[in-house]
Amino acid sequence: MKLEDMIIVSVDDHIVEPPTMYDQHLSVQHQSIKPELRKDKNGADYWLYEGKRTGSIGLNAVVGRMKEEYGCEPVSFEQMRKGAWDINARIDDMDANGILSSLNFPSVVTFDGGLFHEFENKANALTLLRAYNDWHIDEWCGSHPGRNIPLALVPYWDIKATVEELHRVSKKGCHAITFSDNPSLKGQPSIHNEHWDPLWKACADLDIVINIHIGSGAQAPHASMESPIDAWITTMPISIVNSAADWLHLKALQQYPLKVSLSEGGIGWIPYFLERADFVHEHHKAWTHADFGKKKPSDVFREHFLTCFIDDAFGLENLDKIGEDNVAYECDYPHSDTVWPESGDRLFETLGGLTDVQIDKISHGNALRLFNFDAFGMMGGRDKCTVGALRAAAAAKKVDTSLQSFGGPAPLAPGEKPRPVTSGDITRMFTEVAKEDGVQQAA
């Protein structure tokens, strides 16, 4: 297979919510609760939800910056590549990168829509959540058919409303939701509680994939505030392992053909994880009474879970231990781990030792199948979906992929020597957000 002939679908990217997000999706009677986008006296853009200021609008949206500036969080739309928040510019960047289709998680409203769960007025929260879904499905995904896979939020503080929203978005062609990896950390029942039975049944009936993104419940811990931030960045994807173990023991997996996607977790850890799960079950089931029917935990994992990677040669070398039907690609645009605009080149090199059939599965086939997304049909044929065809389109549009400077970290004081950036440095960067007088910070 040649690079130009490869087709790539990413199952983990992100949207920086644009200023126009709610303009077309709130009725006249709900205009009074429309979130406001403001700019403070320091030039930082921020959203005001329920009278409270949200956190960073451009969470880690540093794609296209010089790497020396990765440690400086964008605080305004002007400090981000336009593709982070503008759908037309995003398509240009996808073309330049050779990416056919993408599944996008939110930013400001958090990966699982957790911002709405903090609302005091849950009726307003539900209205805004539905408006987000309509914008995401109809505008972000609908404006360029075949290019973005719809991903809906659910109001999981209310199980009845959650099931109703599943039925509503499924009629709009959405077959994926984002959900907390551990709802018990957000004041909700654990995934093992019968409270969620209607959700599992609805997802199975409607063929909806449950996506759990790292950091959507459990947080990757910092060893200390003095620890180099590299230590946290290294282990951040693997932090999903605890949630993976919890979900692997979900009883509903034996009752329904549920599909669970582990988002932004990498794959290199999975061979040991499955080996360990099988050992624990065989060695301890006599007293723990864990029940996987007549199957091993690894069998259940391969039947129900999708995983993804950015650059994971070790995991691919052990693909037989994971399952070639369980692996997909992620670009992670516009976050700092993305290798845009070289994703196609890097992926082609990483997949070099696999067969063409395996390459097709991992690069796009597993994702399109699992998310029930007919990108080829919507694009007018497979020949228009290849890395070569997309990059030719980008070249025709003269998409600029050169690195840009948006202003980096504060310069060193006279005589100060460079030192490793620590967890404390990054934590302070996120918490010391400038505020306007009288504006309360959202949780």
- The answer to whether 287 and 331 have CB atoms below 8 angstroms apart is no
pLDDT digits (tens, 9 = 90+) for 81-97: 999 999 999 999 999 99
Joined together, the tokens standing for residue 248 give 């692997």
Annotate 349-413 with DSSP letters as a single string: HHTTTS-HHHHHIIIIIHHHHHTT--HHHHHTSGGGSSHHHHHHHHHHTT-----B----SPPPP
Quote the CA–CA distance of 28 and 51 in Å, as a whole number. Answer: 19
Instruction: Please report, for the chain, how many H helices and E strands are present, in that order.
Output: 17, 12
| CA separation for the pair 428, 127 (Å, rounded) | 33
Structure tokens at 323: 């399952």
CA distance 163 to 153: 11
Whether the CA torsion 134, 136, 140, 142 is positive or negative: it is negative
Local mean pLDDT, 10-residue blocks, the chain (443 residues): 97 97 96 95 93 89 93 91 98 98 97 96 98 98 98 98 98 98 96 98 98 93 95 94 97 97 97 98 97 96 98 96 98 97 97 96 98 98 98 98 85 77 88 54 60
pLDDT in tens, 120-155: 999 999 999 999 999 999 999 999 999 999 999 999
Position 419 scores a pLDDT of 87
- Measured between alpha carbons, how far is 340 from 321 in angstroms, rounded to an integer? 29
Would the pTM count as exceeding 0.85? Answer: yes
- 98 token code pair: 């050779």
CA diameter of the chain: 68
DSSP 239: G
Structure tokens at 59: 């969470």
Q: Using CA atoms, how far apart are residues 137 and 87, in angstroms rounded to an integer?
A: 12
Question: Per-domain residue ranges for the chain?
Answer: 3-34+84-403
How many residues appear in the chain?
Answer: 443
Residue 321 to residue 302: CA distance in whole angstroms:
10
Hey, what CATH topology would domain 3-34+84-403 get? TIM Barrel (3.20.20)
Tokens found for residue 169:
């978005």
